Chains A and B, each alone.
Chain A
Amino acid sequence: MTNTETSATLTAASTSKTLRGEPKGRTGLARILLGRDAVMIGLLLVTIVLFALFIPRFASPLTVGFLLLDVIPVLLIAMPMTLIIITGEIDLSVASIAGLTSASLGVMWAAGFDMNTAILLSILIGVAAGAFNGVLIAFVGLPSLAVTIGTLALFRGLALVVIGDNAVANFPPEYNAFVTSKLGATGIPTVMIGVLAVVAVFGVLLHFTPFGRGLYAMGYSKEAARFVGIDVVKSKFWLYVASGGVSALAGIYWTLRYSSARSDNATGLELTVVAAVLLGGVSIFGGRGSIPGVFASVLLIGTINYALRLGRVSEVVLVIVTGALLIVSVVTPSIGAALRRLGHERRIRRELPRSDGPGPTGA
């Protein structure tokens, strides 16, 4: 606040100097190369190269395969979550929706449904669960954090009601094989094509459509977004529907990959996804973030986890690393901003005539 006041005084003092004296924002290539996304992607590449050099057996198709198979659920769910957090909301029920779809898929298959029908119905269940969140948050106007903590319990509970303590495991082998199959010798899982399609859809939606622009506007200010003609309610509703649908996909993938439908599948995944999205540069206040950043961040966490496991570093350390990364990534920019502000103020004090000094601080 004092910042704007001092610069206002500065403008009044000498109009000729201000604009030239202020540092310019980055433009063109520099903006792309020094932006948060580029830093994340660079960090990811450096990490991969370092691990490939120093960790035996890391650079192999087998690694690529298992690593990607591991990150797919987080990668999928992180996409709608990015859009939702950009609007300033959150969805904590995603892992429970995945669990619910997993349970229903298992029960339907056990009850003799055709596998394709069962998968389709499971996706519909996920979409319905997302729509339930959407109605409560968008139409009724309840806080999303509280609502999705509620539905986190509710959907997980329904999963328990549906399947109980049982587990369904005897899924058709060709489905399991398809989920874990690789593209030739590259080690890249076949399903990755579908996952990339989902990533592309959300990327285009966010970065190249008016709808996406609107989401940023909503994150900055809902009032303002409404005034410029964005249908805030409908946008929010569809985001939660999308989140439910994608979580269902993740649930089905999980079920088929481990060939096990259980009520507790994907427990705790919601916090991993939120951590990955925030690490990817999405602001929890909304209004800032991008799909490439989140994509790189999910892969970064996945790579570190996998490499440390390969290097026989215990699971423990990865948990600490994830947490530390998250905190460092959000604290660093604010420390940087504080330093810049300090420099800015010092410069202004140097340039200002002394008599104006006490004015702004007194106000």
Chain B
Amino acid sequence: MSTTTSQIAPPRRSRLSGLLRARELPVSIALIALVGLTYAANPLFLSPQGTKDLLLNATIMIILAAGQTLVIITRNIDLSVGSILGLVAFGTGSLFANVEGIPIWAVFAIGIVFGAVLGAVNGLLVTLAGVPALVITLGTLYIFRGVNNWWAGGTQYFADDRPDAFGGLAVDTLFGFPIITLIAIVVVVVLAVALAGTRAGRDLYAIGSDPAAARLFGIAIGRRVFFAFLANGMLAGLAGVLYAARFNSVGATTGTGMELNVVAAAVVGGVAIFGGSGSVVGAGLGALLLTTITGALTALRVDKFWQQAIVGVLILTAILIDRVASIRTARRLKTGAASEEKK
């Protein structure tokens, strides 16, 4: 899954694959432990309703984290996702309110295209102007949010403004999974396959690991990075539509402050902030873990005030683990190279 490690000549397959799993392993263990302990203390936590809430709360963050992963792998970052989500969510609300009897699939399509346009703005600015993504997307964060404030003003759309079938996406379940969660799972699976299995996907890792080498190798860096931002915008758009389905009200401030949570989810899931490694599955697990904490603390009747502090500790732990893993890899590669020279 993580190509960086497999790119650096693989002398010992079994250990390498062990290391590969290690990227998602810590977060999976933490997630299982958290769910297990909480369940032991309060069995209601894993009741059908409890599980459903858990998944629903994580859904939107999972999609955003998956999109963000594409961008971070290329050594970029997109801070504007919260603003994109807000704009699309409000757009969704106003579509239902103003266009009589608009089909739901059309709303989804419009939302995704809208997100793609906003993502393309980011992508164009980043690739054409050659300016760091952090600066550009910080700028577009303000601009998109401003546009949303302007457009929405004091208007808010509530659950009554949308058709019941649309709200039903967040309530109805299929095989026990809420429908919007299934959408998130499909997104993660498709992206994971695309990243690991397609030329374009593997190029993203190459760009993030060493841009100069990627350029020498003939990878169209500009185009790939542009598409990463475009895809991230589409996913933020999708998340915006789902947000409108899940939550009761959308307005001018929807999505504010979400950007750092999304990056945090990806980091916790083992996506290295300086590009080149990480997986969509890991990021999804990271998002799930971060949102599960909220539910777990409530179920354990822990003071809710601790929640954010715990999230912070978790992020720091995640990057520490990542650091230790990368030091170990470096050392192992060094000794491996030395022993081969002796032969």
What is the interface of chain A, defined by CB distance below 8 A to chain B?
90, 92, 136, 140-143, 145-147, 149-158, 160-161, 164, 267-268, 271, 274-275, 278, 284-285, 314-324, 326-327, 330-331, 334-335
Contacts and interface: CB of A to CB of B under 8 A. Distances in A.
A316 B150 contact: yes
B142 interface: yes
Interface string B201-236: 000000000000000000000000000000000000
A90 to B, nearest CB: 8
B131 A322 contact: no
Contacts of A156: 308, 312
Interface of B: 77, 79, 125, 129-132, 134-136, 138-147, 149-150, 256-257, 260, 263-264, 267, 273-274, 303, 305-316, 319-320, 323
Nearest to B149: A316
B312 A155 contact: yes
Question: From DSSP, what is the main secondary structure of chain B's interface residues?
Answer: helix
A140 B308 contact: no
Contact of B308 (A90, A149, A157, A323): A157
Nearest to B274: A143
A323 B135 CA distance: 10
Nearest to A154: B312
A274 B147 CA distance: 21
B271 to A, nearest CB: 10
B134 A284 contact: yes
Question: From DSSP, what is the main secondary structure of chain A's interface residues?
Answer: helix
Nearest to A143: B273
B267 A164 contact: no
B294 to A, nearest CB: 12
Contacts of B125: 327, 331
Contact of B316 (A92, A151, A330): A151
Q: Which 4 A-B pairs have the closest CB atoms?
A: A154-B312, A157-B309, A323-B142, A157-B308
Nearest to B317: A150
Contacts of A146: 267, 273, 315, 319
A157 B306 contact: yes
Contact of A334 (B130, B139, B313): B130
A323 B316 contact: no
Contacts of A147: 316, 319
A271 B134 CA distance: 11
B173 to A, nearest CB: 32
Contacts of B323: 140-142
B316 A157 contact: no
Q: Most B CB atoms within 10 A — which of A92, A319, A324? A: A319
Contacts of B263: 149
B305 A149 contact: no
A154 B305 CA distance: 11
Contacts of A267: 257
B156 to A, nearest CB: 15
A157 B267 CA distance: 18
Nearest to A153: B312
Given A149-B263, A154-B313, A164-B305, A323 B129 contact: no
Given A150-B312, A327-B125, A327-B143, A142 B138 contact: no
A92 B140 CA distance: 18
